[in-house]
Amino acid sequence: MENRKLGSEGLEVSAIGLGCMGMSDFYGESDEAESIATIHRALEIGVNLLDTADMYGRGDNERLVGRAVADRRDQAVVATKFGIVRGEGNERSISGHPDYVRSSIDESLTRLGLDHVDLYYQHRVDRTVPIEETVGAMSELVEAGKVRYLGLSEASVETIRKANEVHPISALQSEYSLFERGLEEQVLPVLRELGIGLVPYSPLGRGFLTGRFRSEADFDSADFRSHDPRMSKENFRRNLTIVEAIEELASTHDVTPAQMAIAWVLAQGSDVVPIPGTKKISRLEENAAAAAVSLSESDLAALDALPRPQGDRYAPTLMGSIDA
Ligand SMILES: NC(=O)c1ccc[n+]([C@@H]2O[C@H](COP(=O)([O-])OP(=O)(O)OC[C@H]3O[C@@H](n4cnc5c(N)ncnc54)[C@H](OP(=O)(O)O)[C@@H]3O)[C@@H](O)[C@H]2O)c1
């Protein structure tokens, strides 16, 4: 698989990464041995960008990724995040305080069993702390050798500009897919102006675009998606028409809908590196093969013209934490 550059500081990663979140949280049951085997297979086939966060599984996901890379650290580009603080049950808060940044990286490194992470993101912007202070503390981690490159997630253009003045930002990780196009008008042009890469998360629309889920009843109440407005009873059926159109186009190319959805993201620019999530080797291989799918201008135009989904991308409490 080709490599792509993220930002202007020298970070280079596989064109497609692997989202590890679902191996420990949010998307139903998982099997640790299968998850670790999936990470190993990813590294074998050249998918080297592994995405985790301190809040996934309340630290369990970092521990899992750490175990998986322990004997092959040099093959992996490990990205993690800080800033979403989980309380009891579903309670969450956000912290970008410099002291919190400093303690978070040490805890992440301990869980990962590493002496540095390659890419360290602020997971959500803390609007009570000037971004300059948060990124200032993050830049000290680069100087200390604990972190190689810096990133932000779901940051607004104003935040991105201010952050990038303090220290070059290599990547913005935000939701972007055929199911979520919100970055195109304002954020993408600013990333390009500043030379910042884009790491689209949920490039498969949390699995919806794969065509695997056919009804809201496919998610039990423990699955995060049972609270996803786009997959609610009111919106599921109508949003499925988007998937049906992707399935139709995919069948004419003899590829899967997941491959078509990832190929569309890859075609948005050489500065774009999607991180589809899976805990299964077969799906990892399927998704990685999307790097070889070439879409014509008319395919891209047909995909661009798909209707936008109905419903917000998060429930109201979580939408409130998006920096806008
Ligand atoms: N920065 C942020 O705020 C943020 C938010 C959400 C996610 N993320 C990161 O982005 C990564 C990816 O996002 P995501 O996991 O939310 O969504 P996604 O990649 O859009 O979709 C993942 C879902 O699709 C399924 N899937 C994957 N490949 C498939 C295939 N070929 N055929 C059928 N089903 C397939 C997975 O199931 P199986 O696992 O069962 O295969 C899983 O349920 C996460 O792992 C996480 O690291 C970041």
Q: Which domains does the chain have, with CATH numbers?
A: 3-207+258-295 (3.20.20.100)
Q: What angle do CA 57, 319, 28 make, to 5 degrees?
A: 30
Q: Convert the pLDDT of each residue in 177-235 to its tens digit.
A: 999 999 999 999 999 999 999 999 999 999 999 999 999 999 998 899 999 999 999 99
The residues assigned a catalytic role are 56
Q: Are 108 and 62 in contact (CB under 8 A)?
A: yes
Q: What is the pLDDT of residue 324?
A: 79
Bigger pLDDT: 91 vs 165: 165
pLDDT band at 15 (very low <50, low <70, confident <90, very high): very high
Q: What is the pTM of this model?
A: 0.98
CA-wise closest residue to 82 among 51, 55, 115: 55
The DSSP 8-state label assigned to residue 144 in this structure reads T
Task: Select from 278, 284, 287, 323 the residue to mutate for testing ligand 1; criterion: most ligand atoms less than 8 Å from CB.
Answer: 278
Q: What is the pLDDT of residue 222?
A: 87
For the chain, give the percent of residues with pLDDT over 70. 100
Q: How far is the CA of 261 from the centre of ligand 1 (A)?
A: 12
* CA of 124, closest atom in ligand 1: 3
The DSSP 8-state label assigned to residue 306 in this structure reads S
* Range in 70-79, 106-115, 227-236, 273-282 with the lowest mean pLDDT: 227-236
Would the pLDDT of 27 be above 90?
A: yes
Q: Convert the pLDDT of each residue in 309-323 to its tens digit.
A: 999 999 888 988 888
Q: Which residues line ligand 1 (CB under 6 A)?
A: 19-22, 27, 51, 123, 153-154, 173, 201-207, 210, 212, 258, 275-280, 283, 286-287
pLDDT band at 70 (very low <50, low <70, confident <90, very high): very high
Q: Are 88 and 43 in contact (CB under 8 A)?
A: no
Angstrom distance (rounded) from CA 161 to CA 131: 10
187's tokens: 């954020």
Q: What is the pLDDT of residue 321?
A: 86
Q: What is the pLDDT of residue 256?
A: 98
When pLDDT is averaged across residues 46-51 and rounded to a whole number, the result is: 98
Would the pLDDT of 97 be above 90?
A: yes
Helix H or strand E segment including 159: helix 157-166
Residue bearing the CA closest to ligand 1, atom 42 = 207
Task: Select from 84, 183, 210 the residue to mutate for testing ligand 1; criterion: most ligand atoms less than 8 Å from CB.
Answer: 210
* Range in 72-81, 84-93, 138-147, 201-210 with the lowest mean pLDDT: 84-93
Sheet order of strands, 197-201 included: 18-19, 49-51, 77-82, 117-122, 147-153, 171-175, 197-201
Q: How far is the CA of 279 from the centre of ligand 1 (A)?
A: 9
Residue holding tokens 């934490």?
A: 321
Question: What residues contact residue 44 under an 8 Å CB cut-off, 6+ apart?
Answer: none
Residue bearing the CA closest to ligand 1, atom 35 = 207
Would the pLDDT of 89 be above 90?
A: no
Q: What is the pLDDT of residue 320?
A: 83
When pLDDT is averaged across residues 131-135 and rounded to a whole number, the result is: 98
Residue bearing the CA closest to ligand 1, atom 48 = 201
Q: How far is the CA of 276 from the centre of ligand 1 (A)?
A: 5
